[in-house]
Amino acid sequence: SIDPYLNNQISCRSGGIRRLNLRPWKEVQPLIHISPKLLTDVVARSKRELDQEWQLYRENQNADPQSPIGTAFGFSRPKRQAAMISNASFLLEYTSANMIRSFLQGKLQDVESGNVRELVTMLPSIDISTIGLMPELECDEVALPCDHTRKYRTITGWCNNLQNPHFGKSFQPFIRLLPPVYEDGLGKPRGTSVTGKPLPSPRMVSRNIHTDTSNLHTRYSLMVMQFAQITDHDLTFTPVNKGFINEGILNCLSCDSMITVHPQCFPIPVPEGDPFFPSVNDTNGEPYCIPATRSMPGQRTLGPREQMNQLTAYLDMSFVYGSDVCEARMLRSFSGGKLNSTKVLRGKALLPEIIAHPECRAENKVCFIAGDARASEQPGLGALHTVFMREHNLIASDLAVMNPHWGDEVLYQETRRIMGAMYQNIIFSEFLPRIFGWEGVRRHGLTLQHEGYYTGYDPSCDGTIVNEFSAAAFRFGHSLLRPVFRRVDPQYKPLEPPVRLRDHFFKPAVLYRPNMVEELILGLVDTPMETLDNFITEEVTNHLFEKTGVLFSGMDLISLNMQRARDHGIRGYNHYREFCNMSRARDFRDLESDMLPGLVDTLRGVYDHVDDIDLFPGGMSERPLPGGVLGPTFACIVGH
């Protein structure tokens, strides 16, 4: 008989009994065996070599923080945590190179003889936890286990994904859509054509492809550009390398600065016949270069160099609230849930001020501070930052009236939740449809539900920003720029004079003028943006961060875009056509159906081979998707 005190009997073959899932206990098996002694010896040798090389450069002078080089550095300034990670990543890169040398000397096993490429792919699987290279970061949040009952997101992005808490966290390396292509397989920037010749200078590409011709958009305002920039500053911030003296700014102006100043200098040669910059420096007869510095490495394993993102990967308004605990504290007033602000005699509050900002070019040396360090980069950006700060404080005030029993912490966190929800709604319901077109939004599964909650969350999906997004695709907004910001009064009548872009890089003093923030915001919504195409204003191709009155002191943002992508080992445009399910071009003629008129011939005149085309000019040359502004390749990368 059946015992009534036992559970109901069922067959052992019944589908109602779930099998024990042991997959969480599976460890990744190293693809290559390295003895602990060999690993320790190689790391020690690499550290000695790294110290010796860096010692050679310690006496070189830093650049002036007020120079265009200094201003460019301020736009990519590394935080203290990034520098700590970078030091370990450099050592990992040197160790990887020495591992390859050991392999070539026959000291490594389990690798096919002579196959260095195979070894490079195996290096990341080597367990380096025993040598303790990665530092513990200050101002961090790494508590485990993740608290699944926590109501508010962390500042650093830690535990956003409960099963994979580091996904999308600040100070993590970018992930990639395609493996990097470095000259040496490890970290040397991409610089050689598939024909074996050098790739064209990015300045050569910029001056031929990205000329200054205005083509105003018939539907969208300049606010699309400005919102795109602040969204980019919510998602990506790649730090560049610093100098050795007091961690100063590298002076990479000389074309041989990677030898004479610092190995991480990566200057851009100006070709002969340039329509603006001289190809030869008149003062010393040396070749003329646009200064550029390599991004800090951020990989946490052996193998090829990876770059790091100082921000969280999530749409969490880190440009308002910061990406580490110390930043978040500094921005708070700790009174009524509000953020710090600057009171002015006439008008509404402005962003909080910071005096210790070495790259600030304002006459009074005062710039603004926000959750993202680039808030003072140009007036339109500063104005939009100010609006978000004011909105936070307004909502906090209203919540305090509704809930007088709430303290500062609850008011701050609840306001942050509301702000984040508003911002994400703008992104998905207004911004992305204008970038992709509605068909593109649906294709990438980015359509908002009318009610209820999203049920398709996948904890195995890594939300970390992809390198190709940061280094190329999401830089599309550079084409939308206008040379000036119009000022408009409440009746939408233009005010004079407008604010010229080149005169106000890291010079936020203009925002102190009464009603200037409001005039700029109204100007952004009342001014058409430029159409997304290959044309880009010379305000950023010839005059970026220019020092007033100093000829040729400016830089070229588009050349820097391409140089950055080569620095990061980003593959050529044709590889991403194939990745995005477009036909891989066999020659330049295969591009004609996807590109804007006349550009294929121009690309053919600059590049030796279709596979050499850099991702940025290739993506910017495509015809936009119906109803959107992006072409198919950039839409694919941004959609991912």
For the annotated catalytic residues, the residue numbers are: 233
Q: What are the structure tokens assigned to 213, written together?
A: 């011709």
CA 87 – CA 46 distance, rounded (Å)? 12
Handedness of CA 222, 225, 227, 230 (dihedral sign): negative
Q: Confirm whether residue 609 is marked as ligand binding.
A: no
CA 510 – CA 513 distance, rounded (Å)? 6
Quickly list H helices, 408-466. Answer: 408-426, 432-436, 438-443
CA 500 – CA 539 distance, rounded (Å)? 9
Bridge partners (DSSP) of residue 309 are 172
Q: What are the structure tokens assigned to 281, written together?
A: 């420096």
Q: Dihedral through CA 423, CA 425, CA 429, CA 430, nearest 10?
A: -20
Residue 410: half-sphere exposure toward Cβ, Cα within 13 Å: 8
CA 350 – CA 379 distance, rounded (Å)? 12
Quickly list H helices, 404-556. Answer: 408-426, 432-436, 438-443, 467-471, 516-526, 538-541
Handedness of CA 303, 168, 232, 474 (dihedral sign): positive
Is-contact 583 590, C-beta < 8 A? yes
Pairing of strands 494-500, 484-488: antiparallel
Per-residue burial over 446-485, b if 16 or more Cβ lie within 10 Å, else e, is: eeeeeeeeeeeeeeeebbbbbbbbbbbbbbbbbbbbbbbb
**Element containing residue 249 per DSSP (H, E):** strand 249-250
Alpha carbon separation from 567 to 200, 265, 307, 385, 619 (Å, rounded): 14, 11, 10, 30, 18
CA 246 – CA 313 distance, rounded (Å)? 30
The beta-strand segments (E) located in 384-520 are 484-488, 494-500
Is-contact 128 92, C-beta < 8 A? yes
Cis peptide before 145 (omega within 30 of 0): yes
Bridge partners (DSSP) of residue 240 are 295
| Residue numbering of the annotated binding site for heme b | 478
